[in-house]
Each structure stands twice: as C-alpha cells, then as structure tokens.
Structure 1
Amino acid sequence: MATKFKPFDVVIARYLLKPNEVFHLSKPLMYGAKINTGFGSINHDDIIGKPLRSIVFGDKDKKHKYIVTRARLPEYVINVKREAQPIYPVDASLIVQAADINVSYPTLKSVDDTEIYKEIDIFRRRGYKLAKNKRNDIKNDSSSINKKEEIIQEKLLILHGPINSYNGKTITRCSTPPLQFLECGTGHGSLTLQICKSIHASNCYFDGINDLSRGSIIHSLDRNLKHMKIGISTVSGFQKGIYLDDVEFHYEPIGPSNWVNSDIANYYRQLCDTTEFLQGCFLDMPSPEHEFTELSKYLTVDGFIIVFTPSISQIWDCYTFVKDNDLKLTLVSTFELLTGGNGGMREWDVRRVMIRNSEMVGKVVKPRIGVRIVGGGFIGIFRKIP
C-alpha cells in the first residue's frame, strides 16, 4: 500500500483542534485544485507527495492546522455527494453480513481460444456485454435501445476503458463460472461498495475484458438514471475505483423482473451454463415482493433474496406473497436494524399460526425475546428451497 498521497487519491482533511467535528472530504487530488475550508483553502499540491497523516495549513498565516488522512469507506460514504438516500455504512455492512457471502481465490486454467469461442464470443458494445452463440446469435438492435440507456452505457465505457478483442492463442479463465449477485437499486452506491468489498478477492485474476476470468460479478440495477450516475460516481471515486471491475451497472427502467429476461442477462446466464445463475439478490426498492416470482426462477438452490424495508409490515407483505403464491422460497430470518450510533440488529419472529380451537390463520410479528445482535429499518432474508 502506498505510504504517500498520489494524484486522484480522495482524502479527509481534519481540523487538528476538533478532528471529529470539523473535517472536509476532498475531490480526487489534482495539481492546481483546492479543498475549501472555513479557514481558507488547502492546495492539493500541498498534499500530493506528502506522507499519510501529514499536517497541512488551511490559510496563508498557517494558524489553522489540518491532518490529512486517506478517506475510509464509512467516512467516504457519509460525506460524498449524494442525490439518493444512502444506506448508512453500519446498516450496509450488517445487510451484507446477513447474506453470509463466502468467496475464495479462484483456480485458473488456460484453454485454446477456439474452444472458448465455441462456448461464447465475448465482446463489448457501448460499454455493456452481449453474447453471440455460434448456433443462435443474439444480435444487438441499436434502434430499440432507449436513448437514456445509451447515455448511461457510454458513461460505463468511459469508466471501464477501451476494450480490445483477444488475438492470442490462449485465454486464461477460472476453472468455475463466476458467482453472480443482483442488487436493486443502485441508489447512492453505498450498499454496492459493501457488497463489492465482500467479493473483491475473487476477482484477483480479472483482466478487465474476459468475464470468464472473473470469480464474482455484482449486477447493480436502477430505474432512475440520475441515481445510477451518482452510484457509478460513488463507486468509481472510492480509492481510484478499486471496486469498479467487481460490478456491472445496468439502467433498467422497468425493473429486475424485466432485466433477468433480457438479452444482457442471457449473456450472463451463458457464462454459468444454467438458468439458475444468481447466488443472491439484494432488494432495496418499493414493494419488493412483486419481483419474487421472476427472480426466484433464476436463483440457485439455497440462494438468498434479502429485502431492506422501512417497516416490519412490508416484511410481512413479502412473507404472505411467498405463501400465497407457493414460491420456492422460505423466510429464514428477520432483523430490525437499530437506530443510534452503535447500530446493531434485533431479530424478529414473523410467521403464520393457526389460532387454537379455530380454523382461522393468525400472524405473529414480534421481536424475539432475549435475542439481539450487537441504522434503521428491517431486513428479511429469504432462501430458495428445492
């Protein structure tokens, strides 16, 4: 890890007399730029090249001292520009923890490129991927692409850089298909960063082009173009975009049920050579239960759907939807994300019961007594059953 600040680092400048009260998040460091403070401006030139935790001055008189540190993930998420309401770092980390994602470094194998292209011909167009099977081509009809989608995909192309096709005789690929996760919606990008953090190690061999060299992929969807741009900016701005290659952003104005049946999703299904290509889904959206029917079709057995809602009644709506529609899902846990500085979770009991001495069905929605895992809102964890 670098011991000195470099161009494009994002830093926190803390006022030395009140470091936890007065601080400023910088934009990516660039020569000639400044951090504006209440006591003057700090030149980026005075930070670049300095060791971590250096002291700089906020004015010409050098009366006001600031200590400069690299922005940690929680500090970055809370202070970065926002247009959408973020899931705060404590809550986001607990949601990802509840998903129990476990990935490891993939093993590799090299294959002849003719073998690879018999399976799938990988290329990018306007920043997103499509597949062309040798026996059944899926062609891109540019006339049907929504104009807004063209804008966002052009943005993605800039972020991911130019794409070149392979000309070599061998291609390195992982010995197993990539694990794939779905997030709806992108929003501020705070949950996206936390998910990326949990799977980042599995993409140690990703070359930026060949998806078969990936260990994991996060698909982040949003129906609001403005929110998606902010989410992309949030992810790309943290530590020079360290997690950018872990996630694929998709503008989806209709919803995730439409996306999983699209040509782009079909490309990713072909990577896994199975219909059930999603290991899990994170849903932070209104009425998430309406997406359960389609998403559960593409979920692996024991794969999860985690919903994040502001009220316990919405978890009940999801639970009853699963029961009423006989979906192959089961609610395994319900947690309340506690408000306050310390965060934490409290488990709830959400289930249907038969009322004694009657044939009526009642409901139980209450905290589990004596069970607490040391925010705000509720999460329901559903898993797919055979």
Structure 2
Amino acid sequence: MRLTAAPLRQICGQRRTLATFVERDIVLLRQKLNQDNFILTKPLNPANRISTHKGDISHSDIIGKSPRDLVTSSAGHDYRVHNVTLAEYVSLTRRLVTPIYPADANLIVSLLDLHPSAAHEAGKLEILEAGTGHGALTLHLSRAIHAANSQKPKPLPSPAPDSVGGEPATEDSSGSGQTESDDALTAWKASRKAVIHTIDISPKYSKHAAKVVAGFRHGLYADNVDFHVGDASGWIKSEHERRNSDQPFLTHAFLDLPATHDHLSAVASALKNDGTLIIFNPSITQIVDCVQKIKQQDIPLFLDQTLELGNNGTSGGKPWDLRAVKPRAAPKVQSGEESSDCVQSSGSEEPEKQDQNITRDPAQTLTEAKPEEPNWTFVCRPKVGERIIGGGFLGVFRKMNNSARP
C-alpha cells in the first residue's frame, strides 16, 4: 500500500513529537558556527535561562525542540540542540574530584567481561566499586549490567481520599506509612539480578556521585546502583554479617583507593572463584605494593595483567611485565675472563668467543617466586620499548581457589 504525502507528514510529525525534549532533560548546545563552543544545560525548567557571552537562551525555547533543531540566543547566535551522550555527560558535569574518563572507563568495563543476560543463569551479579569519586565509572558499570534487571515498577498515582475515613486507600494499615508503591520498589530491588555496590569514604563525594548518576536521562541507570559511605573492608565485613554467611558474594570488584593493598585480603574473601579484581593506581610502584602484599600474606589472588592508561584518553591499555620473581644462581665465569656486562659493553671480543652460557636478558635468569621463598624481587618494565605516556595503571587480578594455586 502506498502512502500519500499527507499521511507521511502525519507519521513524521508524530515521531518528531515523541523525540522532543521535555522538562528535566539535560541537553548539549553547540554553537552553529563554532562547534567547539558548547554548553551542557542543567535539567530543563521553563522558568530558567542560560546566560552566555553570546546572549541568553531560555529553557522554554529548548523544551519542545527535537535533536539538531536550532535555538537562538538573545544576541542572535544560533545553537544546535543535541542529546548528550554518556561520555559527554560524565566529562562535562560539575565535578568535585577527577573522573575516570570515558576511554578508561570503557576499558575497565571491557576487562570485567560482563554478560548481563547470563546473570539469570549464573546467579546474582554483584560488583563492588570502592572509591565512587565522581560517579563516572559507576554509570558505565550500571549501563553494562542494565539488561539483567527487569523494568522498575512505576510509582502509583496519588490515591483519592477514602470516602469514609479520608485516608489514602493504599497506605499500609499497620500505620508504618509504607505504601504499596514503596513495597513494590523494595521487592523489585531485592529481585535484581545485577547490582553495583559503590562505596566512598566521603559522604560529600558519595552524595554528589549519586546526584550525577541520577541526572543522566532521568535516572535511567540509577536503580542498578546502591550507594554506601564508609571503609571498603568494613563494608565487606558488615555484608558478611548481614547475610549471615562467610561465603563469597562478589562477582567482580574495582578498587580506586589510596592504600589499595590494605583492602586486598577483605576483597579476596568476598570475591567468587575466578572473579576479577581490578585496581587503579597512579603509580606502578603501588601495583608492586599490592603484589608484594599478596605474596607476603598468601592472599588467593594472581596477577593476570598490568596495563598503563594513556593520558590522552585514547589508550587501550599499554601492557607491562610485572612479576614477583626469585633470581637463579648467577652463571659462573671462568677465571681471567671479563664479566658478561663488560664483554657486552666493550665490544672487543668476537661474538663466537663469548661464553654462550651467559644470558644477556636478565629476566631469563629469574623464576616465578613462591610465597614461602625468601629473597624474591620484582620484574617491572613496559612490554614494549616505546616512550612511556601514563595516566595511571591497572592491575587485573583473578581470584583462585587455594587448591588451584599455580
């Protein structure tokens, strides 16, 4: 069946109406003649205005517009209206601390290898994020697990007063003030198949991060997240007590803390077998401290990989070789011969006359250290010889059973 022009215009008009911006939306404005001049709005409110050096823009002029429509400032400058992406949102929202930028957040989520649809078969998927900060990684994690949870129940409309007593008909008869809507929300939260537990030591940062998460697309991903304030190890201990079990309950964990090594034992106790623990530290030596603590306390974690994050927001993670090792016995050098270092640096001896038992790569004289062995040290170097440009380091660990230690 062919559609005439009139019905086509009606269909296009309906779609355009459905895609328009409404109150409480957050949008991105880009100046038409200068794409680098952009504004992230606050939640749209008809009574508010945006003041810029290019003139004022009323929120009421944006409400009802569709993506890529133009609005004109009071000074006559045109701005194009855009939906704000998650990457733009976490980068441009007001911050109290430095966020984990989108390229790094996407890498971290990828390393966790999340599969929300499998949560229904494998049991509840619970992820700990210790160090909520700005809430940028929280949002990326929540988006990654969102498909595992059913749609949150909508709040019930305000009930009409009871014709007899004048009280709302849906209020709990016990007098607790709990409504049917509250009960439904509580039941839904208990039934979630995937949850992000995010904890920060600062109530101020945690409150701000909760606001950031709730501000993205009317809180689309907010209900997948439970915010906590306190110490990460203390929270894990309290969770074991609340659940009345010492069994592991975390599928994965991410730590962005000043003294990460102090929390490794507690996190390992809560991490399920083969669960991933990712730690972020500004310095490679802090990753070394964690490996050292694992060796010293025999914590059931092993280092899967070490990655350096780029400071230009485009790095996919530069691999480092970081291992706890024990030196082998040094090779014997015949009396009268120069040491291997001297032979290699002088260039005076023919290659075929050099001792073939002397290894030029020091890493080849090292074996993997066991926890009970003394005098172990570390290999710590980039895996390639390129110039180092760093924005921090990720240590990716795996939980292992005591019986499955390498």
TM-score under structure 1 length normalisation: 0.75
The answer to whether structure 1 residue 92 and structure 2 residue 105 are counterparts is: yes
Matching residue within 205, 213, 236 for 1:260: 236
Distance 1:224 1:326, change over 3 A: same
Q: 1:27 matched to which residue of 2?
A: 42
**Matched letter for residue 305 of structure 2:** S
Q: CA deviation at 1:280?
A: 1.0
The answer to whether structure 1 residue 224 and structure 2 residue 202 are counterparts is: yes
Q: Distance in 2 between matches of 1:299 and 1:341?
A: 30
How many correspondences in the alignment? 308
Q: Structure 2: which 5+ runs fail to align?
A: 1-14, 154-184, 331-373, 402-406
**Matched letter for residue 16 of structure 1:** K
Q: Distance in 1 between matches of 2:252 and 2:122?
A: 17
Q: Distance in 2 between matches of 1:202 and 1:35?
A: 38
Q: 1:47 matched to which residue of 2?
A: 62
Q: How does 1:1-150 map to 2 (within 5 A)?
A: 2-19=18-35, 21-59=36-74, 61-62=75-76, 64-104=77-117
Distance 1:105 1:316, change over 3 A: closer
Cα deviation 1:65-85 (Å, max 9, x = unaligned): 100101111111111111111
Q: Which has the larger radius of gyration?
A: 2
Q: CA deviation at 1:299?
A: 0.8
Q: Distance in 2 between matches of 1:102 and 1:340?
A: 29
Q: CA deviation at 1:326?
A: 0.4
Distance 1:341 1:282, change over 3 A: closer
Q: Distance in 1 between matches of 2:33 and 2:312?
A: 26
Q: How does 1:1-386 map to 2 (within 5 A)?
A: 2-19=18-35, 21-59=36-74, 61-62=75-76, 64-104=77-117, 177-207=123-153, 208-210=185-187, 211-252=189-230, 255-262=231-238, 266-267=241-242, 269=243, 275-357=247-329, 360-369=375-384, 376-386=391-401
Runs of 4+ in 1 over 6 A off after TM superposition: none
Q: Distance in 2 between matches of 1:188 and 1:36?
A: 26
Cα deviation 1:203-238 (Å, max 9, x = unaligned): 124543223421101111011111111101110111
Distance 1:6 1:265, change over 3 A: farther
Q: Distance in 1 between matches of 2:240 and 2:93?
A: 31
Q: Distance in 2 between matches of 1:212 and 1:274?
A: 20
Q: Distance in 2 between matches of 1:81 and 1:292?
A: 32
TM-score under structure 2 length normalisation: 0.72
Identity %: 39
User: In structure 2, the residue corresponding to 1:235 is in which secondary structure?
Assistant: helix
Q: Distance in 2 between matches of 1:313 and 1:188?
A: 25
User: In structure 1, the residue corresponding to 2:116 is in which secondary structure?
Assistant: coil
Give the stretch that moved more between structures: 177-186 or 294-303: 177-186
User: In structure 2, the residue corresponding to 1:317 is in which secondary structure?
Assistant: helix
**Matched letter for residue 263 of structure 2:** E
Q: CA deviation at 1:91?
A: 1.2
The answer to whether the 8 Å contact 1:91/1:376 transfers is: no
Distance 1:265 1:226, change over 3 A: farther
Q: CA RMSD in A?
A: 2.2
